[in-house]
Amino acid sequence: MELMAGLLHGFQVALTPAALMMCVVGVVLGTIIGVMPGLGPSATIAMLLPLTFKLEPTGAMIMLAGIYYGAKYGGSTTSILLNVPGESSSVVTCIDGYQMARKGRAGPALGMAAIASFIAGTFGVVALMLVAPPLARLSLAFSAPEYFALMVLGLAMVVLLAGESLTKALLAMFVGLWIATMGTDLFSATSRFTFDRVELLGGIDFIIVAIGVFAIGEVIGNMEAEKPAEMLPVPKGWRNLMPTWDDMKRCRFAFANGSVVGFLIGILPGAGSTIASFMSYGIEKGFSKHPEEFGHGAIEGVAAPEGANNAETGGALVPLLTLGIPGSGTTAILLAALILWGFKPGPLFIQASPQLFWGLVASMYIGNVLLLILNLPLVAVFAQLLRIPGYMMSSLILGVSIVGVYSVSSSMFHLWLLAAFGLLGYLMRKLDYPSAPLVLGLVLGDSMEKALRQSLMMSQGDISILFRPIPSVLLAFAALLLVVPLFKKFNAVRVQVIDKEA
Amino acid sequence: MKLQATAVRAALGAAILAAASFAHADWAPTKTVDVIVHTGPGGGSDLLARAMVQMIEKEKLAPVRMQVVNKPGGNGAVAAAAIAEKKDDPHTIGLITSVWIAGPLTSSEAKITVHDLKPIAQLMLEPAVFAVRSDSPFKTLKEFIDAAKANPGQLKQSGGSVTSRDNIIRQSLQHATGAKWNFVSFQGGGERLAALLGGHVDIMVIEPQEAGEQVRAGKIRVLAQLTDKRLPGYPDAPTLKEAGFDVHPTPQIRAVVAPPQQPNEASAYWEKLFARLKDTPSWKKYIADNQLEEGYATGPELRKHMAQIEKELREVYTQAGIKVVR
């Protein structure tokens, strides 16, 4: 009852013309910066923050949150069309999204990204509203050993991301893990693999690697094609641009998977949306009846990660609003914003400021609907991009990538890095090494190393800390993931042998 | 005649003096000013810089627009190099923190450090407090230290990097008392607090603003403050000295610097601007809302403070076995 009263009050706040206006501004801005690679929600919110001092705080919060979840909608656009991840959490979407575009199914891919985002995003808000306080307390049970096991489970998914050869996938992953070690070590303040470059003291931002390996590698690869790349087919008609009913049925599990995995990982202050999208992609492929289609344009490979990174937003707001603990860069800025507006984020926040909490929750329901209405027609517009001839497309990808990287780093050095990773991506493609495991290793490596060292510092070197209940379960899953393909292989060999004998 | 001459000379002198001081006060920025910070958008320095620019605008302290320029990387080293590159530019200033002093001590990659730049003004101090969970058996800092002495290495503190203020105060306390406890580094402030609230560590150094709400909700207890005098928000928590520990907490500063050869009249303009800023209602409100400590100091004083902080850090790092490279 209290809940209904709260929500009703929230809608009263969120449906006032001023609040509605702020919500529209937020989600439109969010979509735009989501589409643009490089510029992310945290940078945008930080830059807009001073302008919000003059605004009424509830409206301002509704707008900033709109940017936050709106960006997750837009992020998939360039991943699908150009193989350039628009946001860090849309890196995985490149894998199947871009393949779908190459097969002329860019429209359904973009449409599915919007639909999955809507479903999972709304699930995230419902969950935020219903189970925030108890789950927030549960998230505190998660500490370094649990995070370590979670990261190991994530890394074990390399088995699922591998193409033909597991060995090559593992090699790529280890390169990713190596890159993750670069920079100043948090625990000893020593520099690792910085090559005496001041720019490398902070390590290498994984989005640079991802854009280099995926997008630039693709451009170089296309350049050497003997005949000019054919224009990608774009089917005519609204109906052909939308996912079919069959697509929707195929994605049933992906919607649920993305929603739940995204939300749960979002609650953990030490994980984040990139990890959420990788996890749900892995789970999707692991449980799929036709895993061989993944990597070649499986629509579930778009729906699961895009859903997950939207459900993650609802999850990430849980520790922020119920405990005053920011779990990511963007939520840390939202925390700073709340303080600047005179609120006191912390365990008493929801009680003390029901207007803001319920107004925000209600606005997120509205915002998700707005985003769906906004993004579906955009599909038709964006899909036309593929009519651009190949040679111009390559320049477009290059331009978008360079601007994206420069906008984050404002340094020439990082553009050279981008070029180097582009070359690496090209070589990997030539030699048939999958690039997703490299990015996976890079995303998870840093957190995994930190979590392991934190665990051992907590236990003074006693390794048994890694085998308390939650980590044990996660590690068992990881072991299972690694062992199953071996069995399959063994089985296949056995069948062959039996066949020969017979 | 003589009197007349003296009078003329005096008048002339006064005129020259007036002209000089007029010129002195007369320099004012004529185009957009860059405020260089060492974090990406949304980092601590970035948010302060953006709030500061807003306050300067609101209080009409500068005739031009100011914009925040992010030069992230290398604990301030990239930003320091970017400021030094501006040589004598009067339209560039930089916002620094103690990290700019600590960073170069452990990383040889930094070729240009904050000491190569021109100090303009110290803006504020960032205080901190020692906190434990409210169900913790430790009611005072002394009880915690005694327990750490009785069981060396059993208790744990969550904190930032090994070079951070959190670890420095731990090292100083360990050195002064002979107690030993563990330090677990976490990248983000949220993770440190989550580790304390979740019962994975026993104590942490936390910013007063962040601690305030947790105290009000009955989640944590403040044992002592890392300040020289008690903060207005924590009238009941003793300072380290009052708690019985003769340990001086190395202050965490935020300050403004300029390119190395910035003309004096421009630097004087900036120093004056920040001296005026610190007395405005907007600034006072910002300090109060964020529970910071006022700590304005002039350029020459800032230079001394930076040298002092570096000296203290160097001592503690050496004691703690952290490799100091310069």
pLDDT tens column, B226-284: 998 899 999 999 999 999 999 988 999 999 999 999 999 999 999 999 999 999 999 99
Beta bridge partner(s), residue B68: B35
Q: Which residue of B has its CA nearest to A143?
A: B195
pLDDT digits (tens, 9 = 90+) for B103-159: 999 988 999 999 999 999 999 999 999 999 999 999 999 999 999 999 999 999 999
**C-alpha A7 chain-centroid distance:** 29
pLDDT of B63 over the 80 cut? yes
Lookup: tokens for A467: 């085998």
How does DSSP assign B4-33, residue by residue? Answer: HHHHHHHHHHHHHHHHHHHHHHH----SPE
How far apart CA A197 and CA A481 sit, in angstroms, is 39
Cβ distance of B47 and A336 shorter than 8 Å: yes
DSSP 3-state of A324: coil
What is the model's pLDDT at position A138?
Answer: 82
CATH of domain B129-225: 3.40.190.10
Contact B50/A201, CB-based, under 8 Å? no
Q: Nearest CA to A95 among A258, A218, A202, A242? A: A218
Nearest CA in chain A to B216: A348
d(CA A406, nearest CA chain B) in Å: 12
Q: How confident is the model at residue B21 (pLDDT cuts 50, 70, 90)?
A: very low
CA distance B202 to A32: 44
* Residue A45 contacts B, CB cutoff 8 Å: yes
Q: Which residue type, as a one-letter code, is found at position A48?
A: L
B45 at A interface, C-beta within 8 A = no
For residues B62 and A501, the model is more confident at B62
Domain range annotation of chain A: 2-501
State the ipTM, two decimals. 0.85
Q: CB of A36 within 8 A of CB of A86?
A: yes
- Give the neighbor-by-neighbor strand order of the sheet with B129-133: B182-185, B156-159, B203-206, B129-133, B220-225
User: Which chain A positions have a beta carbon within 8 Å of B290's beta carbon?
Assistant: 339
C-alpha distances (whole Å) from A53 to each of A57, A321, A409, B37 are 8, 20, 27, 21
Query: Residues, chain B, total?
Result: 326
Categorize the per-residue pLDDT at B7 as very low, low, confident or very high, splitting at 50, 70 and 90: low
Q: How far apart are CA B98 and CA B163, in angstroms?
A: 11
- Quote the mean pLDDT of chain B: 90
Domains of chain B, by residue range, sit at 28-126+252-320, 129-225
B133 touches B199 (CB < 8 A)? yes
Selected residues 281-320 of chain A with any CB under 8 Å from a CB in chain B: 319
A346/B109 Cβ within 8 A: no
The more confidently predicted of residues B254 and B43 is B254
- A288 near A298, Cβ under 8 Å? yes
Q: Any alpha helices (H) in B27-90, and if so which ranges? A: 44-58, 77-85
* C-alpha dihedral sign at A126, A127, A131, A133: negative
Q: Looking at the partner chain, which of B194, B197, B213 has a beta carbon nearest the beta carbon of A345?
A: B213
Q: Residue B41: which of A47, A202, A319 has the nearest Cβ? A: A47
pTM for the whole structure:
0.87
Give the model's pLDDT for residue B170: 96
Looking up tokens 């990015």, which residue turns up?
A439
Whether residue B6 has pLDDT greater than 70: no
Rounded to whole angstroms, the Cα distance separating A283 from A277 reads 10
In chain A, what residues touch B74 (CB-CB under 8 Å)? 184, 198-199, 201-202
A339 close contact with B: CB closer than 8 A: yes
**pLDDT attached to residue B23:** 46
Query: Closest residue of B to A451, CA-based?
Result: B186
Confidence category of residue B1, pLDDT binned at 50, 70, 90:
very low
Question: Are B184 and A144 a contacting pair at CB < 8 A?
Answer: yes
pLDDT of residue A484: 79
Neighbours of A47 (CB within 10 A): 16
Tens digit of each residue's pLDDT (9 = 90 or more) over A116-164: 999 999 999 999 999 887 888 788 888 999 999 999 999 998 888 877 7
Nearest alpha carbon to residue A156 among A388, A485, A479, A488 = A479
**CA nearest A77: which of A420, A384, A501?**
A384
Q: What is the model's pLDDT at position A144?
A: 93
Q: Can you read off the two tokens belonging to residue A429?
A: 């493609």
Sign, CA dihedral B199-B204-B209-B212, equals positive
Note whether A255 and A302 are within 8 A (CB).
Answer: no
When CB atoms are compared, the residue of A201, A332, A347 closest to B219 is A347
Q: What's the CA gap between B215 and B133, in Å, rounded?
A: 9
- The SS3 assignment for B185 reads strand
Mutate to test the interface with A, among B105, B158, B184 (most CBs of A within 10 A): B184
B28-126+252-320, what's its fold?
D-Maltodextrin-Binding Protein; domain 2 (3.40.190)
Low-confidence ranges of chain A (pLDDT < 70): 1, 226-234, 495, 500-502
Round to whole Å and give the CA distance between A23 and A66. Answer: 6
The answer to whether B320 contacts chain A (CB < 8 Å) is: no
